[in-house]
Amino acid sequence: MPASRRHHRTLAVLVNCLGVIAAVPALTPAALRATAVPVPSAPPPAVAAASARPAAAATPIPTGVPAAPPAAPTTGPAPVRPSKPPVSVAVGAAGTPAPGYRIEVRNAGTGMVETMVRQEMPGDARATTVTGGGHATGTGGAGGGAIVWRLRLPARSTTTLHTALAVTGPGTAVTAPACVYGTDGTRPYDCATATWVGGATAPAAQSAAAPAWRRPPVLLAALTALLVLAGGALWWALRRRRQPTGPVTATTATTDRGTVYPRPALPAPASRRRRPPVWVAVGLAAAVLAGVVGAAAWSATQRVSAMDTTKQPTSGAWVGRSVTGTLGVPLRETAFEFTVYRMTCATGVVPTAPGGGRPCLATVGVRNVTSEQQTWHGQLQRAYLPSGNWVAADEDATRVANLGRDVFAQPVAAGRRALLPLVFTVPGTQPPKQLELRSGVFSAGVRVDVD
């Protein structure tokens, strides 16, 4: 055999040995045992069974990991949150001499729904007519005065209710909101409001307004226009007096007709420019100045009279104006439109409440009137007590009233409306007198009288 071929064969053997040595660490001990121990061709069944049992029980997993992944912990089904039934309510004011309302409750679902309908009454009102099996409780205000119905709404049906109220005060407008709740009377399905305006008082309000010719802005405008017209007429008259009556032409010598060159024209007599009298200019300027000063004074007087000196200051009210209203009246601030439909307090002290206070539940509608989503916080929603102190919204109790949902965690989408209960834990026995609701720290917010 030639020497070159022997060298090639020796080199091939070395390369193969190195490959086998490099592959040995990658093999598992079980694979090595399988390659090293020959498998018997056909052992007897009894011997095979006897040898298989101890081997299966004693042979560990060579890699040190369990044979199967750990079983996932068994978890129960997710809590099912009850769905909101498609129940809606609409309220309209009746055209009657006394405050009257028409309440329509509609069930658009395919099943029967048990509900509680509640219409709030103003503090000085009492119910005179109630249809549909409802009954009146209390005398209005935060004490819980309202008209309550317990209804079983059939599928795809509309129930109409009628109420009439009697008020002791001479007020021209009476607002009575209505909400439809579940059987517990806590979670609102829908709310609506309506304001009755007396027909007999509307003409009095119109006749009380001063006629147009007696209003200061109209008088000032008329005086200014008169002065301008007088000045224009005077200027036109003086200008007409300055103009000559006939055409002005150059005078030439016409007696000497044989002259080749005409005589030069005689200079025209100089006319003196007439000016308006001094007393006219001074009087016109004084009249204009008096009109401007009078308009400024009237505007300042109207602004001062429109200021409400009895309004309590709001903390951080830097954007917008604070608006005050009553139950059922939509009040708008910079980002939200708030409507408080109901305010009721528990009759006794709740031991689990912080400080031994009692919870007061407010049904509030929040509408985002901007083109962007807006966030709001529970600490900015306050309930003012008769003593002047205030408490913020109880976020834990509010979460419980909303079935575990944190209403302040997610922002309100643009143009959307949220209807939810807010809980305020107040100390003592007196109910809150006023609610202050706002969208942000720098918003003036709105104030709702609930007493």
Residue 227 lies in a domain: no
| Confidence at residue 266, expressed as pLDDT on a 0 to 100 scale | 60
Question: Does residue 330 surpass a pLDDT of 90?
Answer: yes
How far apart CA 270 and CA 267 sit, in angstroms, is 9
158 — pLDDT class (breaks 50, 70, 90): very high
Residue 397 lies in a domain: yes
| Confidence at residue 11, expressed as pLDDT on a 0 to 100 scale | 73
| Confidence at residue 104, expressed as pLDDT on a 0 to 100 scale | 96
What does the pLDDT average to over 406-430? 91
Q: Say which range, 45-54, 292-301, 403-412, has the weakest mean pLDDT.
A: 45-54
Which has the higher per-residue pLDDT, 159 or 43?
A: 159
Last residue of a domain, one of 180, 199, 218: 199
Which has the higher per-residue pLDDT, 282 or 398?
A: 398
Residue 357 lies in a domain: yes
What does the pLDDT average to over 54-76? 42
What does the pLDDT average to over 174-178? 92
Last residue of a domain, one of 199, 227, 256: 199
- CATH number of the domain residue 150 falls in: 2.60.40.290
Domain carrying residue 331: 323-449
**What predicted TM-score, i.e. pTM, was given to this entire model?**
0.57
Measured in degrees and rounded to the nearest 5, phi and psi for residue 373 equal: -70, 145
- CATH number of the domain residue 338 falls in: 2.60.40.1240
Residue 269 lies in a domain: no
Rank 60-74, 238-252, 266-280, 307-321 by mean pLDDT and report only the highest.
Answer: 266-280
Terminal Cα distance for the chain, rounded? 119
**What's the distance, CA 128 to chain centroid?**
35
Q: Say which range, 267-271, 290-294, 339-343, 419-423, has the weakest mean pLDDT.
A: 267-271
| Confidence at residue 56, expressed as pLDDT on a 0 to 100 scale | 39
SS (H, E, C) the chain: CCHHHHHHHHHHHHHHHHHHHHHCCCCCHHHHHHHHCCCCCCCCHHHHHHHHHHHHHHCCCCCCCCCCCCCCCCCCCCCCCCCCCCEEEEEEECCCCCCEEEEEEEECCCCCEEEEEEEECCCCEEEEEECCCCEEECCCHHHCCEEEEEEEECCCEEEEEEEEEEECCCCCEEECCEEEECCCCCCEEEEECCEEECCCCHHHHHHHCCCHHHCHHHHHHHHHHHHHHHHHHHHHHHHHHHCCCCCCCCCCCCCCCCCCCCCCCCCCCCCCCCCCCHHHHHHHHHHHHHHHHHHHHHHHHHHHHHCCCCCCCCCCCCECCCEEEECCCCEECCCEEEEEEEEEECCCCCCCCHHHCEEEEEEEEEEECCCCCECCCHHHCEEECCCCCEEECCHHHHHHHCCCCCCCCCCECCCCEEEEEEEEEECCCCCCCEEEECCCCCECCEEEECC
What residue type is assigned to position 362 of the chain?
A: A
Residue 37 lies in a domain: no
Question: Does residue 139 surpass a pLDDT of 60?
Answer: no
| Confidence at residue 79, expressed as pLDDT on a 0 to 100 scale | 42
59 — pLDDT class (breaks 50, 70, 90): very low
Question: Does residue 341 surpass a pLDDT of 50?
Answer: yes
Angle at Cα 348 formed by Cα 343 and Cα 351, nearest 5°? Answer: 110
Question: Does residue 32 surpass a pLDDT of 50?
Answer: no
| Confidence at residue 441, expressed as pLDDT on a 0 to 100 scale | 85
Structure tokens given for 425: 């834990």
Say what percent of the chain tops pLDDT 70: 61
Per DSSP, the residues of 248-263 read -------S-TT-SSPP
Give the tens place of pLDDT for each residue, 184-239. 888 899 999 999 987 543 333 333 345 555 566 667 777 777 777 777 777 777 77
Last residue of a domain, one of 171, 199, 227: 199
Angle at Cα 54 formed by Cα 48 and Cα 60, nearest 5°? Answer: 120
429 — pLDDT class (breaks 50, 70, 90): confident
Per DSSP, the residues of 79-94 read PPPPPPP-EEEEEEE-
Question: Does residue 265 surpass a pLDDT of 90?
Answer: no
What does the pLDDT average to over 80-94? 79
Question: Does residue 13 surpass a pLDDT of 80?
Answer: no
| Confidence at residue 4, expressed as pLDDT on a 0 to 100 scale | 56
In the chain, the number of structural domains is 2
Give the tens place of pLDDT for each residue, 116-130. 999 998 877 889 999
DSSP 8-state class, residue 389: -
Which has the higher per-residue pLDDT, 51 or 131?
A: 131
Residue 334 lies in a domain: yes
260 — pLDDT class (breaks 50, 70, 90): low
Determine whether 57 is exposed, middle or buried from the number of CB atoms within 10 Å of its CB (0-12, 13-18, 19+): exposed
Residue 94 lies in a domain: yes
Give the pairing type, strands 323-326 and 446-449: parallel
Which has the higher per-residue pLDDT, 253 or 286?
A: 286
Residues near 238 by beta carbon (within 8 Å), at least 6 away in sequence? 274, 275, 276
What does the pLDDT average to over 86-96? 92
Q: What's the mean per-residue pLDDT of the chain?
A: 74
Residue 113 lies in a domain: yes
